[in-house]
Amino acid sequence: MRTLQVELGQRSYPIYIGESLLGEGLIRRHIKGKQALVVSNQVIADHYLPQVLEELEGLECHTLILPDGEQYKTLDTLNTIFSALLEHGHNRSTTLVALGGGVVGDMVGFAAACYQRGVDFIQVPTTLLAQVDSSVGGKTAVNHSLGKNMIGAFYQPNAVIIDTQVLTTLPQRELSAGLAEVIKYGLIRDQEFYQWLEQNIALLMQRDAQALIHAIEQSCINKAQVVAEDETEQGNRALLNLGHTFGHAIETATNYSLWLHGEAVGAGMMMAAEFSAALGWLDKGQLPALAALLEAAGLPLTPPAEISAEDFVTLMSRDKKVLTGQIRLVLLKAIGEAVVTENFSNEALMAYLNSICEA
Ligand code: NAD
Ligand code: GLY
């Protein structure tokens, strides 16, 4: 087992990474009181809830099964967590355990931030995306009908327990979606890791246990460093959004129904790299290798044909990074070096979008 630390002073916490960690007492170790509520969904609970409950024997422990899907990441579902806590008489020393992907993790984290003004919570992420991204760093939220992740809080967990064995049941598309976020770390700040990914992407797609552990560990090291330096995204944490401005536009234009988030980020990272090259920042010679890596990870390289350049600009203007009306993007200066910038003209962006959009 590898142990990393997210360094946030009094709110620092460990990330444990290894094979078959569930049922080994790590969750129990981080529960300080006598009560716990394990929150999951039916798909995940069928596979992994028994192992988790086994290690919580002796505690006053309850479980709550949420409906599966991003459409249930709402205030209404959040309220069912509060109801369960209140109905079972959970007090301020209770601990919430999030057993699931990013949807469960984001909701349980936000519930923990709010219940009785803040209780402990532990992340037990079960998708690759949650293991390398959403479970680390304390962004918690639910969606509003007018915007994704618009209601939330920064609230750090007490521990993140990453059992790579759970990835054996993950659908292949979900694995690829998680790999998009893994590749992101290489692109924005870790050239050596990017080169390792180029050499090991086939092993990762085959779910080789050692390769997965290495990729998750490197991703978490990178994420933990970024979060430690900029917990509430006043600056460099925004680099973690490489490809996300293009990707969110794709998700919104297709009503969140065509691609998974990671797939949209995959195409979005290719677009960010191509636009960086069009501006003369990134060496154009790097583009074919990036395309090959994303393709080998099972990710799309180009946006859906139905989205026009005008659609992109309209949707990208609504991004959370836009502060003064000018679109801000994470762009690449080199492989392993990213910047958040408004330093490009609308004409240049439009010319790039026109060059790739078919509609
Ligand atoms: P998800 O939680 O919806 O999980 C994807 C699917 O996989 C679900 O159907 C789930 O039931 C299933 N599943 C999960 N683990 C499984 C397993 N081990 N075996 C079989 N099936 C399994 O999706 P996700 O990609 O994990 O998370 C997406 C969410 O994460 C979005 O809401 C996004 O906003 C959020 N997110 C948050 C952050 C953050 O920093 N907090 C970062 C990135 C994404
Ligand atoms: N997933 C982006 C962040 O945590 O900041």
pLDDT digit string (tens) for 109-143? 999 999 999 999 999 999 999 999 999 999 999 99
Consecutive H or E run containing 18:
strand 13-18
Nearest to 200 by CA among 186, 247, 166: 186
Q: For residue 210, report the distance from its CA to the centre of ligand 2, in Å.
A: 25
Mutate which of 134, 234, 269 for ligand 2 pocket (most atoms within 8 A of beta carbon):
134
Residue 149 near residue 141, CB atoms below 8 Å: yes
Ligand 1 centre to CA of 68 (Å) is 10
Pick from 287, 263, 116: nearest CA to 181: 263
Per-residue pLDDT at 341: 94
Residue 353 above 90 pLDDT?
A: yes
pLDDT number for residue 103 = 97
Q: Is 182 exposed, middle or buried (0-12, 13-18, 19+ CB in 10 A)?
A: buried
Say what the pLDDT of residue 289 is: 98
**Cβ(174) – ligand 1 distance below 6 Å:** yes
Which DSSP symbol is given to 137?
A: S
- Residue of 28, 189, 248, 328 with catalytic role: 248
Burial class (CB in 10 A: 0-12, 13-18, 19+), 294: buried
| CA distance linking residue 287 with residue 273, whole number of Å | 7
Which among 320, 355, 299, 348 is positioned nearest to 244, based on CA atoms?
320
pLDDT band at 146 (very low <50, low <70, confident <90, very high): confident
From the alpha carbon of 109, which atom of ligand 1 is closest?
41
pLDDT digits (tens, 9 = 90+) for 56-102: 999 999 999 999 999 999 999 999 999 999 999 999 999 999 999 99
Give the Cα separation of 273 and 112 in Å (integer). 38
pLDDT band of residue 255 (cuts 50, 70, 90) is: confident
Catalytic residue check, 30: no
* Mean predicted confidence (pLDDT) in 293-299: 98
Mean pLDDT in the chain?
96
pLDDT band at residue 322 under the 50/70/90 scheme:
low
Long-range contacts from 83-89, C-beta under 8 angstroms, 24+ separation: 84/37, 85/37, 85/111, 85/115, 88/35, 88/37, 88/60, 88/62
Residue 143 annotated to the active site: no
